[in-house]
Amino acid sequence: MQKKFEQVLMPVATKLANNVVLRSLRDGFLIITPLIIVTSIFLLIGNFPIPGWADFWSGVLGPKWSEWFSAVSDSVFSFTGLLACFGISYAYGKNRGLQAVHASAVAIVSFLIMTPTTVKVGKTTLGAVQTIYLGPNGIFLGLFTALVSVELYRFAIKRNWTIKMPDGVPPAVSESFDALLPSAFVILFFFLIRIIFSLTEFNTAYNFIYTMLQAPLKNVGNSLPSVLLYNFLASLLWCFGINGPTITNSVWSPIFFVLTQDNLKAFQSGAKLPHIYTQQFIDIFTTYGGGGSTLSLLIVMLFVCKSKRIKELGKLAIVPGIFGINEPIIFGLPVVLNPIIAIPFIIVPVLNTLISGFVFSMHWIPYTNGVMLPWTTPPLISGWLSTGSWTGSVLQLFELILGVLLYYPFVKMLDKQYLNEESAAAELDDVDIDFSDI
Amino acid sequence: MKVIILLDQIQSGLGGKEKADTALGGKKLAMGAADTIDKTLKKQDSSVMATFFCGTEYYEQNKEEVTGKITRMCQKMQPDILLVGPTYDYADFARMACEIGYAVETNSDIPVVAMVAKEKNSDTVAQFKDKLNIIKMPKKGGTGLADSIDHGIELCNKKVKKEDTDDFVKQYCF
């Protein structure tokens, strides 16, 4: 059974893991993730989920205090499309063996070429860029621009369309001239694309990509089956030793990124939160303590198991586990290639997804606000901060306990096996090998 | 076939990176990752007779002592083979495994097989690939783990039975 699964899964997983475009998308989003986390903290301070918070600080710091914080959060959340273009083009350029800085610079310029740069206010036309084009709605345009521009840039570089400088010219100068013709090629291409779109009913590339791709994909991604499949595959792959989320994220991350940014923008402006299935929903309401919801597993190990090995590992891994680090369990228990633990390791996140999806769709808990918390934020705290409501923590606690119940029979089975081994070894002679006097 | 497996603190289930100061020890049990290998071994009338474990930092600070003790303990316990790893792409563990594996194979009559991923370990692999049989394995979270474990066990079998390993080594080792 395990072998069969592997024969089917391995080639797909290997292909996905090694695909340079998918890898670059994932890496590209990772480049901008630290910025999102940092600015999220500013956003959270400006909108802390305690009644009277804003009024209290207005009294202390004056009415403009929230603007100070939103200036910081705006600097990232209103430009996620542009930043995605930057991150992805950098990662893709690097993975394609180009000078990533040059590739990325050309991609950003290409993105701006396709962005409308005038705004009509009444009868006057102002030279300005609306952030709607550069923010969450522009993420897919940023993504495609990054991939296409880097690919074109590489095409030119590979054909040696460069101006060769004589020896002795400083590298910075010769590199700059190396980039000249390839940059011209890319810019010319996007110049033509802009003209072509202006002749169609879409008017801009932004409108085309948003209507034809981003909005439909968002609808497909923002659904319970999509998140169920995501969590099922992520856990299943871990059971074979493959880092599941790395594979699943390469497919889903652009969609979840857009959904999360939509909620974040809405939260920032005080509008109604649009989506249930955001990255936060997945990170905060489907698994606790890392992939497979191993915090529930750890609780069983710590409080119910009798074998020395499992108890000791439970003690060592509980603190990292609370903060979402489950490496000691994945490899030490182990979860990897362990058919007994594989069953709850897959079922628990899937069941959590179903329950959380139901609870959110019934509006028993406010939708997640899109604020990206550091991934080490422990459950209960994360449930409250991400929804602004204590009911978020209650759902987490419920699912954590449910996970304990589901893991219990399987971990006990493993515990029994380990206990037998330990007592068999103890019967022979001492289990411990004494290295002290050898 | 009786196998002793050498692991670091993470793979033996004794904690994470923060427990790198775990002193050299061992149990007559298949601990952590060794348990996965033991399950496959048991299907072919073989088993893990003991797991040796050592924190990577502890090893760094007591290299000679650890290497000597493991070599002497192997001679005393007389396993058919010593398996060092699987180390994945943990660089400190891979270096410890190869250094100890090489020392045991050189200074005793116990054959050794190592399992290391190429990622983060290019220096270690370059240094030991001609001195030690190192089975190629995936990095942490990479694809092909079960296959590489099968290859590791098969090479152990071949070495214990003193069969010709040239072709096998060419195909599955660095």
Q: Do A334 and B141 touch (CB under 8 A)?
A: no
Q: Do B145 and A17 touch (CB under 8 A)?
A: no
Q: Do B149 and A334 touch (CB under 8 A)?
A: no
Q: Which two tokens stand for residue A350?
A: 């899937």
User: In the predicted model, what is the mean pLDDT of residues B145-155?
Assistant: 91
Q: What is the pLDDT of residue A429?
A: 61
User: In the predicted model, what is the mean pLDDT of residues B31-55?
Assistant: 91
The answer to whether residue A116 sits within a structural domain is yes
- At residue A2 the predicted structure's pLDDT band, cuts being 50, 70 and 90, is low
Long-range contacts of B68-74 (CB under 8 A, 24+ apart): B69/A435, B69/A438, B69/B24, B70/B6, B70/B24, B70/B100, B70/B103, B70/B104, B71/B103, B71/B104, B71/B107, B71/B108, B72/A438, B73/A433, B73/A435, B73/A438, B73/B26, B74/B4, B74/B104, B74/B108, B74/B110
Q: Note whether A187 and A321 are same-domain residues.
A: no
Total domain count, chain A: 2
Which residue of chain B has the CA closest to A4?
A: B146
Q: Is the pTM of this model over 0.80?
A: no
Q: Note whether A159 and A264 are same-domain residues.
A: no
Q: Note whether A405 and A263 are same-domain residues.
A: yes
Q: Note whether A159 and A86 are same-domain residues.
A: yes
Cα–Cα distance between A338 and A333 in angstroms, integer?
9
| Spans of all domains in chain B | 2-172
Q: Note whether A255 and A392 are same-domain residues.
A: yes
- Cβ-Cβ contacts under 8 Å for B91 (sequence gap 6 or more): B120, B121, B124
Q: Which of residues 11-30 of A touch B (CB under 8 A)?
A: 13-14, 17
Q: Note whether A275 and A198 are same-domain residues.
A: no
The domain boundary, picked from A196, A221, A246, lies at: A221
> Residue A121 phi/psi, 5° resolution?
-120, 110
The answer to whether residue A292 sits within a structural domain is yes
Which residue of chain B has the CA closest to A417?
A: B35
Long-range contacts of A431-434 (CB under 8 A, 24+ apart): A431/B27, A431/B28, A431/B29, A432/B25, A432/B26, A432/B27, A433/B25, A433/B26, A433/B27, A433/B28, A433/B50, A433/B52, A433/B73, A433/B77
The answer to whether residue A20 sits within a structural domain is no
Residue A184 belongs to what domain range? Answer: 78-221
Q: Note whether A121 and A155 are same-domain residues.
A: yes
User: In the predicted model, what is the mean pLDDT of residues A29-57?
Assistant: 84
- At residue A186 the predicted structure's pLDDT band, cuts being 50, 70 and 90, is very high
Tens-digit pLDDT profile for residues A346-393 = 999 999 999 999 999 999 999 999 888 887 889 999 999 999 999 999
User: In the predicted model, what is the mean pLDDT of residues B165-174?
Assistant: 93
Average pLDDT, chain A: 89
Three state DSSP letters for chain A = CHHHHHHHHHHHHHHHHHCHHHHHHHHHHHHHHHHHHHHHHHHHHHCCCCCCHHHHHHHHHCCCHHHHHHHHHHHHHCCHHHHHHHHHHHHHHHHCCCCHHHHHHHHHHHHHHCCCCEEEECCEEEECCCHHHHCHHHHHHHHHHHHHHHHHHHHHHHCCCCCCCCCCCCHHHHHHHHCHHHHHHHHHHHHHHHHHHHCCCCCCHHHHHHHHHHHHHHHHHCCHHHHHHHHHHHHHHHHCCECHHHHHHHHHHHHHHHHHHHHHHHHHHCCCCCCCCCHHHHHHHCCCCCHHHHHHHHHHHHHCCCCHHHHHHHHHHHHHHHCCCCHHHHHHCCCCCCHHHHHHHHHHHHHHHHHHHHHHHCCCCCCCCCCCCCCCCCCCHHHHHHHCCHHHHHHHHHHHHHHHHHHHHHHHHHHHHHHHHHHHHHHHCCCEECCCCC
- At residue A45 the predicted structure's pLDDT band, cuts being 50, 70 and 90, is confident
**Range of lowest pLDDT (A312-316, A409-413, A420-424, B38-42):** A420-424
Q: Note whether A283 and A358 are same-domain residues.
A: yes
CATH architecture for segment(s) B2-172: 3-Layer(aba) Sandwich (3.40)
Q: Do B27 and A432 touch (CB under 8 A)?
A: yes
Q: Which of residues 197-256 of A touch B (CB under 8 A)?
A: 240-243, 246
The answer to whether residue A208 sits within a structural domain is yes
- CB-hemisphere CA count at 13 Å for A200? 12
- At residue A5 the predicted structure's pLDDT band, cuts being 50, 70 and 90, is low
Tell me the three state secondary structure of residue B117.
coil
- At residue A3 the predicted structure's pLDDT band, cuts being 50, 70 and 90, is low
The answer to whether residue A71 sits within a structural domain is no
Distance from CA of A316 to the nearest CA of B (A): 5
Q: Note whether A319 and A411 are same-domain residues.
A: yes
CA distances from A417 to A8, A21, A193, A313, A422 (A): 30, 45, 65, 16, 9
Pairs across A and B, CB distance < 8 A: 112
Tens-digit pLDDT profile for residues B72-130 = 999 999 999 999 999 999 999 999 999 999 999 999 999 999 999 999 999 999 999 99
Residue of B4, B12, B24, B29 to mutate, interface with A, max A Cβ within 10 Å: B29
Q: Note whether A213 and A246 are same-domain residues.
A: no
Q: Which two tokens stand for residue B136?
A: 């190629």
The domain boundary, picked from A221, A246, A279, lies at: A221
The answer to whether residue A429 sits within a structural domain is no
Q: Note whether A180 and A271 are same-domain residues.
A: no
The answer to whether residue A66 sits within a structural domain is no
Q: What is the pLDDT of residue A152?
A: 97
Percent of chain B with pLDDT over 70: 100
**Range of lowest pLDDT (A161-175, A252-266, A308-322, B23-37):** A161-175
Q: Note whether A117 and A186 are same-domain residues.
A: yes
**Residue A88 or A420, more confident:** A88
| For residue A136, pLDDT beyond 90 | no
- At residue A169 the predicted structure's pLDDT band, cuts being 50, 70 and 90, is confident
What residues of chain B have any CB closer than 8 angstroms to a CB in chain A?
10-16, 18-19, 24-33, 35-36, 50, 52, 69, 72-73, 76-77, 88, 138, 140-147, 149
Are residues A218 and A258 in contact, defined by beta-carbon separation less than 8 angstroms?
A: yes
Task: Residue B12: list chain A partners with CB under 8 A.
Answer: 332
